[in-house]
Structure 1
Amino acid sequence: MILRQPNWAQNLLATQVASAEGEGGRGQGQQQQQQGVSPVMELVMALSDQRLYREVVWSLKRGLHDARSEFSFVRMRGLNALAKFMSSAANAEKVMELFRGSQSYQELQVVPVLFDYALAPRKRLAKNLGIVGAAEAGSDVESAPTTAEVTVALRVLEGCCLLYSGCRATASQHAAVSELIDFFLAGGPSVQSTCLDGLLAVMLDSPPNQKEFERVHGLRKIAEMLRNSHLDPDIRLKIAEFIVILISQVLPNGNRGFGIGEGSKPAWMTKWAQQELVEILGEESSALVDGIIDAGRQTFSDQDNQQTSMLRYAQELLHLAS
């Protein structure tokens, strides 16, 4: 995205900010409030907002157009453009607001395109194969998504879900949790890592997706991989971190709509996760899981302390599963 303002707009806006910061005293502040913003400045701000809106729409349309291509290398180009847009939106509140508003328009929705072309195209291909003959359908089948394409698509999905809760609702309509678990079980280290991040983003404050995760026994399938000593060590640690974040932060925050437990007791969704882990890792893991759940209720002085605590629990969980 081209977020830089033209020089003439930058100068006027900088002057406005400097003038506002330079105003001191209560009387001067009231006088400035009565005078309001000049007509020229109102025009500059309106033009800047319109320009930013056009940039957002153009960036989404360009990325989505390429992401719908029949060829993997073109889809990859579009997904990279969308990933860069998500990064820009995360660092700019105004862009984030415009992105949220854009997702109410079907032609600008990102999540459906991800599942139709990069993450779950086999469903659409199966539908096509059921309509036409196999020989005729072979020429209409697009190039299969590559590992790199799936990885970037998962990152874009993660960004969408973190920026806007409505994208999580859209993802639930495409069985996102089931698709991501399938990718995790069949993919390599890079896909597995991004699948875990994507699952957390999809399930955050989303009861439907959490319910889907429970229905397909997602925690059991992922936790069983933790006991695979032949798995990449970094992925095993990533799985342990995923489980810690899931039961300490994601599930307790998403229990709205399921029924919250009384007092300090965890809600039933967290209890289900606890039972699943104990069945897989053994009774000796019960105390550790209780500690992880309690850590999710604590208020840490800073983010570093929280990350250190979560990493410690993940390492203990990994040691227990070894």
Structure 2
Amino acid sequence: MYLKKPLWSEGTTTPKASAESDSNQPATAVSDLVNSLTTQRVYREVTLALRSGLRDVRAEFSFLRVRGLRSLLKFLRSVAESDSTINLFSQTQSLPELQVVPVLFQNSLKDAEDEIVRNLDHIFGVEPLKITSPASDSEVSLALRVLEGCCLLHPDSAVLAHQHKAIQVLMNILPTRGVIEQSACLDALIAIMLDSSANQMDFEAFHGIEEVAELIRDKQVDENLRLKCGEFLLLLIGHVNGRDRPPLATVHEDIRRLLGEKSASLIWAASQFGSTLDPEQRLTALHIQARRVIESLDLY
């Protein structure tokens, strides 16, 4: 989706010299009309982009689903550029046929066991067996990025994710996929748990802290993934956790038990970073603090 300036909006700005009292009302009327037409145009672009992307994501072949996911990811990045388009996207997610999260879990993030042929009844029937190609690594990574974007732009998408057992699905992906998918999985976990007690409870129930701690402790794991785990723990403590209230009331104790007192104290102190920094500075601070967490673990 490309949010270009509409042709009809050109030349409608009223010069200050002509802004007399008797011309204020026509100028306001023209401005209201332009704003209304712009909103309608952008809404059509939003719905068209969603329908096109979701159609490909529902396809039987992985390469088509990858194309659809790339389109949706590009679309979400465009939506994030303004509050008005974010609001329009949120409106579309109240319509079942345009909801993104359910399609992700029904296709790209679907359990491979769902594709196992249980019987051969189709051989003796008239209906052909529909076989869907398994999700590639690239497809899973893109689907996780789209899931992350949806939950960050539209918090109610986390509710839809919970309905599709998102935490269970992601906790199955984390220990079994490659570094790229694992990194995307950690980012998606933060997004779906943010302000979502239900997903936080599921994360605790599926021993999510233990899985992340196992990765960050293992020196054989890719260094970038270990850093991503460090960032995950910092964000979990600093932004997701309910600050000693359920459902993650024991998260500090869990980290202390799994990573040791020194590393746990460092994570807690470092998680309070950046409240007065701009986004770029906060990101830099996050990387630095995650590096310190890894170094504290490697010393022992």
Normalised-by-shorter TM-score class: 0.7 to 0.9
CA deviation after TM superposition for structure 1 residue 77, in Å: 1.0
Check if 1:3 corresponds to 2:10.
Answer: no
Is 2:261 the counterpart of 1:283? yes
Cα 1:46–1:190 change in 2 (3 A) is same
**2:75 corresponding residue in structure 1:** 85
Task: Please tell me whether residue 267 in structure 1 is matched to residue 238 in structure 2.
Answer: no
Q: How does 1:105-184 map to 2 (within 5 A)?
A: 105-122=95-112, 124-125=114-115, 129=117, 133=120, 136=123, 139-184=129-174
Give the SS at the match of 1:187: coil
Question: d(CA) in 1 for partners of 2:288 and 2:37?
Answer: 51
Amino acid at match of 1:272: T
Q: Which residue of 2 aligns with 1:246?
A: 236
CA contact (8 A) 1:76 1:149 kept: yes
1:315 matches 2:291? yes
Map of 1:300 onto structure 2? 276
Does the 8 Å contact 2:80/2:153 carry over to 1? yes
Amino acid in the other structure paired with 1:247:
I
CA contact (8 A) 2:8 2:34 kept: no
**Kindly tell me: are residues 143 and 32 of structure 1, through their superposed partners in 2, closer, same or farther at Cα, counting changes over 3 Å?**
farther
Aligned mates of 1:152, 1:202 — CA distance in 2: 16
Give the TM-score, by structure 1 length: 0.82
Equivalent residues of 2:101, 2:150 under 8 A apart: yes
Q: For residues 220-239 of structure 1, what are the structure 2 equivalents within 5 Å? A: 220-239=210-229
| 1:11 shift after superposition | 2.9
Q: Which moved more, 1:133-142 or 1:197-206?
A: 133-142
1:76 aligns with 2:66: yes
Q: Secondary structure at the match of 1:45?
A: helix
Partner residue, 2:36: 46
**What is the DSSP-based 3-state SS (H/G/I as helix, E as strand, rest coil) of the residue aligned with 1:119?**
coil
Partner residue, 1:263: none
Any stretches of 5+ residues in structure 2 without a counterpart? none
SS in structure 2 at match of 1:118: coil
* In 2, Cα distance between equivalents of 1:33 and 1:39: 10
**What's the offset of the Cα at 1:2?**
3.2
Contact 2:200 2:248 in 1 (8 A): no
Instruction: Confirm or deny: 8 A CA contact 2:173 2:185 kept in the other structure.
Output: yes
Q: Is the 8 A contact 2:79 2:86 kept in 1?
A: yes
Q: Is the 8 A contact 1:202 1:209 kept in 2?
A: yes
Check the 8 A contact 2:266/2:293 in 1, yes or no: yes
CA RMSD of superposed structures (Å)? 2.7
Paired residue secondary structure (2:175): helix
Report the count of equivalent residues.
295
Residues in 2 aligned to 1:114 and 1:233: alpha-carbon distance in whole angstroms: 29
Q: Percent identity?
A: 36
Contact 2:162 2:199 in 1 (8 A): yes
Superposed CA offset, 1:80-102 (max 9, x none)? 11111101100022211111000
The code of the aligned residue for 1:133 comes to L
CA distance in 2, matches of 1:289, 1:97: 35
Matched residue type, 2:295 = H
